[in-house]
Structure 1
């Protein structure tokens, strides 16, 4: 898609430090990493959100994400990884992408990047669960 920086990276028109380039996706270093070795994984086609990813592409794309999580951990000697995805809200680039961030115990990253909340009671929690279930 014209104007999409991630599409430009996939096409080779925008420079990026690539980690892998395969039919199921392209992975490259984030230019503003949470920690060094932070990788972004994108599908080759322009999709905005996870819900746009065709069912037949899920295994290949997430297989690549899974392999990269193992490679970031093993290749960098990290204790683990944080794997995350925003859908529409908070996407700095409106192209589906998955963050694979190396983690080490004591690295200072705590939980999620947003404030947490609580349900008023079990009834409220059950109501939210029912609304999501109904939408399935």
Structure 2
């Protein structure tokens, strides 16, 4: 019996609000190969994304450049959410909320990662 997989999920949102980031999509293993059947194809795909260039206000010090914006202050990262599924490839996310918003520059950040990539055994 050959491996059977689900359809691909929709692509996730870009994990960066500016600059270079990535987006992922997943699919689940419905049936593991048995008795010499063909092996399973990949269950996670990742591609690059770039929303827009990150801007910094002119003349700021290195601290301003490192944060991506002058006056942008962010809360610490939240904990990763529970994985969307227990096996077969799911997603987790975490947020970093802006404390102080500077006119269109300072925005919340979100990261997404794959989780529970091990096959499902039913």
Q: TM-score, normalised by structure 1?
A: 0.23
Higher helix share: 1
Higher strand share: 2
Q: TM-score, normalised by structure 2?
A: 0.25
Task: Kindly name which structure, 1 or 2, has the bigger radius of gyration based on alpha carbons.
Answer: 2
